[in-house]
Chains A and B, each alone.
Chain A
Amino acid sequence: DGGITQSPKYLFRKEGQNVTLSCEQNLNHDAMYWYRQDPGQGLRLIYYSQIVNDFQKGDIAEGYSVSREKKESFPLTVTSAQKNPTAFYLCASLRQPGSTEAFFGQGTRLTVV
């Protein structure tokens, strides 16, 4: 079955460490997205990528980095520069605007202690 896989579901890291969240899709979608969800703040866009080897900053990119070396994969690195990294992170993919809706992974809950 086609879909988006985020791993792991729960992740714990010590403060000051970088951590990479995985997102893989087998939907053959061109665009991929990373969101952060905090209570009462909805989904805030971190980064998005329209095509391989290209990505754009979203609304809260500071302290995060991404890469898009393959169409299927869009990993997100939470760096030590991110002041409040503990959150629920969601990955999504989209074939192209106006054609279909975006599909979401099940999310990764990151806790930094």
Chain B
Amino acid sequence: AQSVAQPEDQVNVAEGNPLTVKCTYSVSGNPYLFWYVQYPNRGLQFLLKYITGDNLVKGSYGFEAEFNKSQTSFHLKKPSALVSDSALYFCAVIWGYKLSFGAGTTVTVRA
């Protein structure tokens, strides 16, 4: 069965410091992986995806993610975090048409 795990409930960083949000997955075959962000009481906004090709994927708002097949990970990164990056982040995997999400990681960036 497919699954995706986000091992950290919360990540706290100072503005200007690097931000990393971790994600690991379990799925047969080649995964399609996604990162989304959610602001309070809103729907999800797409950040980036890995379908195939380069392991380093660049997305919206300066975010990037590295696909690591040997470690089955797809960590989200931003070199210099902003206070406005504070939000709830979700990692997702799709297998067939089943789209599954992790439990989410709350990111707080302090000024």
A-side interface residues toward B, CB under 8 Å? 4, 31, 33, 35, 40-45, 48, 50, 56, 58-59, 88, 90, 92, 94, 97-98, 101-107, 109
Contact = CB atoms under 8 A, between A and B. Distances in A.
Contact of B97 (A42, A50, A104): A50
* A interface secondary structure, majority: strand
B11 interface: no
A56 B92 CA distance: 18
* B interface secondary structure, majority: strand
Interface residues of B, number: 25
Nearest to B106: A40
A106 B45 CA distance: 10
Contacts, number: 64
Interface string B70-111: 000000000000000000001010101111111110000000
B103 A41 contact: yes
A97 B97 contact: yes
Nearest to A90: B43
A53 B43 CA distance: 26
Given A42-B101, A98-B32, 4 more contacts: A41-B103, A42-B6, A45-B101, A97-B94
